[in-house]
Structure 1
Amino acid sequence: MSVITGAWRRTAAGAGLLATDGTVSPTIFAEMSALAAQEGAINLGQGFPDEDGPAEVLEAARAAIADGLNQYPPGRGTPDLRAAISEHQHRFYGLSVDPETEVLVTVGATEALTATLLALIEGPDDEVVVFEPYYDSYAAAVALAGGTLRTVPLRAPDFQPDLELLAAAVTDRTRIILVNDPHNPTGAIFGRDVLTEVVRLAHLHDAIIVTDEVYEHLSFHAPHTPIATLPGAPERTLTISSAGKTFSATGWKIGWIHGPAELITAVITVKQFLTYVGGSPFQPAIARGLRLDDSFFTDAAAALARKHEILGAGLRDAGFTVFSPQGGYFTLADATAVGGADGAEFCRTLPTRVGVGAIPMAAFLPAEHRSDPGYSGIVRFAACKRVPVIEEAVSRLAALRA
């Protein structure tokens, strides 16, 4: 008999990790990272940088530790970081956000999302609409909250949703429309028509919009447009972001959420019983980072875009069909022509065959859709590595075409 019960069972099932015998398997990310380590492969699977962020941000964290900022910060986050988040939203997007009542600092964007779903979902009659493929924590968090997940597919090559399918998915049972933009894993940036339709549907069905914008400063061809800037959106939108991707500090786990005060109050009511607070000396460091000159943010996006170009060119030379991303850490490629019609099996053998790790698209789909032929050969590679590492990975991948 399984000992997995209640919320644990729901979460494991939502993440696609619960086997029929009741056992829980590791995530595909853990599995592929372990395979890469075992084979001494270059890990282009999991999305973490292999170099540190700006020196002034690192130094601010060291100074905070030396200055004794090592105990619990305020529950909503340090006043200076909340002020910096408010300033950032106004500086880049023209949004007016009250740092006292409309901002909450969280332990990464994942906690912000999970606390939001736990706060706002009351049961299985509450539906959460997401674009598929999706970051795996979304389904797990919806399941943990006891809600029902509904998905709208994103198809190659541009990974933009069909607006008719989106309108059909959003109903009066929709509690939340969850939008990840720039999108992981596809690297898509949603068009203005998509964002406008999300706002229209949210008003029509009295839904809340929750946005995951952790790649906001890693948009390659145009500035990021938060949904909260659209007419009719601010009063029903919770915007989530974090420092990890922007400042190459994924291990610090400093995230935030902002939106209408009454919704933030609901989220903090749950969050205080999850982690309570986190990352005291990292909060002033991230406040410092958010106030860096514009050149830091534009340079970071340009540097990552260049890494994607190198990776994409190498993948094409190796025989992959590449879907060039518009933003974010990841490049998708169809491996069918190099023996990867089954993307999951391809990724399980890739570290041994050529010494490179990747993640199959199946990791970002519900279990019942993992054999969808539109996704089955697609795999994800992380470009957030040093250029010499990417060049070595590309050199190894060339062996697939030999």
Structure 2
Amino acid sequence: METLSKHTSERSWRADKLSQLGSSIFSEVSEWRLEALQSGRHIIDLSIGSPDLGPSVEIRESLSQEALKEENYTYPGTRGSAEFRGQSAAWMKHRFGVEVDSETELLSLMGSQDGLSHLAQAVCNPGDIAIVPNPGYPIYSGALAIAGVTPWYLPLKEENEFLPDLDDIPEEIWTKATFILLNFPGNPIAVRADLAFFAKLVGLAKKWNVLVVHDLAYSEMGFDGYRPVSVLQVPGAREIAVEFHSFSKSFNMAGCRIGFVAGNADAVGALRELKSNIDFGIFKPIQAAAIYALEQAMAYSEEEDGVASLYQQRRDILVASLAEAGWNVPKPEATMFLWARLPEGFRNSSAPWSSRRFARELLLATGVAVIPGDAFGSEGEGYVRIALVQEEAALQEAAQRIGKFIREHSESLHVKDLE
């Protein structure tokens, strides 16, 4: 009995694979935030990409009305209602000119992350290889760890304008990979890919029989006239690709947890089969509100660009304010994030700062919270991600605090002579 008790007391109930999920930095930033609060700092949180506004009044009214109906409290069904899937397919046709079969090629999700986190378990076997971007959203590699799939990291480098070089993927990897996952425009980097890039990607995927997985969560957040494109617009892409869509960013419905995946029927069917053993679908009133959101979006003229104008204005204000404060950050062409290389003095000093040190000391000194780039992969070292999730006055105040922080440290940083 003593031996058994000793064994039990020393046993860990935490699976080893949890250490590979890569999201610990978000908990770490929360701890820094608490530390800053305890020291009296007023926090301006630009770390997590959660919209600070809610959906339109009409969407909320639709949700409220449906929530009062007694018949909406039965199990909703994993696939999603026929009405939701049909409206989602109609929106894909309206927005991208893409035809998808709402019965076999479209599945409702509890947000796009729900599908992204389960896809590898549905289409891969343990020991398979999947190609994912570096830097990339943490669930991309985290989902592989859960499924026992080996990641092969595709670097996104500034010298290539953060577009991956598909020709650099070795044939050995193409022959072994089950899928390649990309995200345009992306998180953390607002990379812009055109249809020519997607056509090349689809061609390579067909050559090697590799599933293309495209995360298009920011489809409605293009700026300066740019409208993100769908991989499914490439002729024949439905034979080899799936694409994830989200209502969280496009319609400020993050708390509702709804999205969908569309594309290759075999992959969509595999994910549907897996999820039928995990959950019972999305609350029917949320599906009804999402249907209404899509109807609203389809009624817009091209000049009425939904949430894009709000984030474009915030982008312009923050980028200009940071420049005035002494930190020149490129303007992203989409999404709700800035991807900012550390200021020169911090990068090129005799003792360069890491992204994590910069983010931590910035938060403790100024109350401005950002995410260090290495949270998204090794290629993110030397950068931070800044979310445009505060009102304009708060963004200007954040820039002023950051500018003061940079000036105060510039005196103590000894910049190396650069050739």
Q: Compared with structure 1, are the counterparts of its residues 71 and 345 closer, same or farther at alpha carbon in structure 2 (3 Å cutoff)? A: farther
Tell me the equivalent position of 1:22. Answer: none
Q: Compared with structure 1, are the counterparts of its residues 77 and 388 closer, same or farther at alpha carbon in structure 2 (3 Å cutoff)? A: same
Amino acid at match of 2:12: V
Amino acid at match of 1:115: H
Q: Compared with structure 1, are the counterparts of its residues 299 and 59 closer, same or farther at alpha carbon in structure 2 (3 Å cutoff)? A: same
Aligned-pair identity (%): 27
Cα drift, residue 318 of structure 1: 2.6
Distance 1:168 1:4 in 2: 40
State the superposition RMSD in angstroms. 2.0
SS of equivalent to 1:239: strand
Tell me the equivalent position of 1:344. Answer: 356
Identify which of 350, 368, 389 aligns with 1:384: 389
Normalised TM-score (structure 1) = 0.89
Q: Deviations over 1:55-109 (max 9, x none)?
A: 1111111111112323321221122211110110000111111222221111111
Amino acid at match of 1:92: R
Tell me the equivalent position of 1:20. Answer: none
Normalised TM-score (structure 2) = 0.86
Q: Deviations over 1:282-337 (max 9, x none)?
A: 11001100111224861421221111111112222333341321211100112233
CA contact (8 A) 2:373 2:384 kept: yes
Is 2:27 aligned against 1:30?
A: yes
Distance 2:255 2:34 in 1: 19
Identify which of 248, 253, 256 aligns with 1:252: 256
Is 2:244 aligned against 1:237?
A: no
Q: Compared with structure 1, are the counterparts of its residues 36 and 70 closer, same or farther at alpha carbon in structure 2 (3 Å cutoff)? A: farther
Cα drift, residue 2 of structure 1: 5.8
Which of structures 1 and 2 has the bigger CA Rg?
2
Distance 1:71 1:393 in 2: 46
Amino acid at match of 2:387: A
Distance 2:385 2:393 in 1: 19
Distance 1:166 1:329 in 2: 29
Tell me the equivalent position of 1:21. Answer: none
Tell me the equivalent position of 2:331. Answer: 324
Tell me the equivalent position of 2:167. Answer: 164
Distance 1:101 1:291 in 2: 22
Q: Structure 1 stretches of 5 or more lacking a match?
A: 17-25
CA contact (8 A) 1:151 1:169 kept: no
Tell me the equivalent position of 2:368. Answer: 356
Q: Deviations over 1:210-233 (max 9, x none)?
A: 111110111124222111110231
Q: Deviations over 1:97-137 (max 9, x none)?
A: 1222221111111111122211101121x211112100001
Identify which of 188, 191, 194 aligns with 1:188: 191
Cα drift, residue 245 of structure 1: 0.6
The 10-residue stretch of structure 1 (204-213 or 387-396) with the greater mean CA deviation from structure 2: 387-396
Amino acid at match of 2:248: G
Is 2:90 aligned against 1:87?
A: yes
Amino acid at match of 2:300: D
Q: Compared with structure 1, are the counterparts of its residues 168 and 360 closer, same or farther at alpha carbon in structure 2 (3 Å cutoff)? A: farther
Amino acid at match of 1:301: A
Q: Compared with structure 1, are the counterparts of its residues 337 and 317 closer, same or farther at alpha carbon in structure 2 (3 Å cutoff)? A: farther
Q: Compared with structure 1, are the counterparts of its residues 320 and 274 closer, same or farther at alpha carbon in structure 2 (3 Å cutoff)? A: farther
Tell me the equivalent position of 1:23. Answer: none
Q: Compared with structure 1, are the counterparts of its residues 281 and 315 closer, same or farther at alpha carbon in structure 2 (3 Å cutoff)? A: same
Tell me the equivalent position of 1:313. Answer: 320
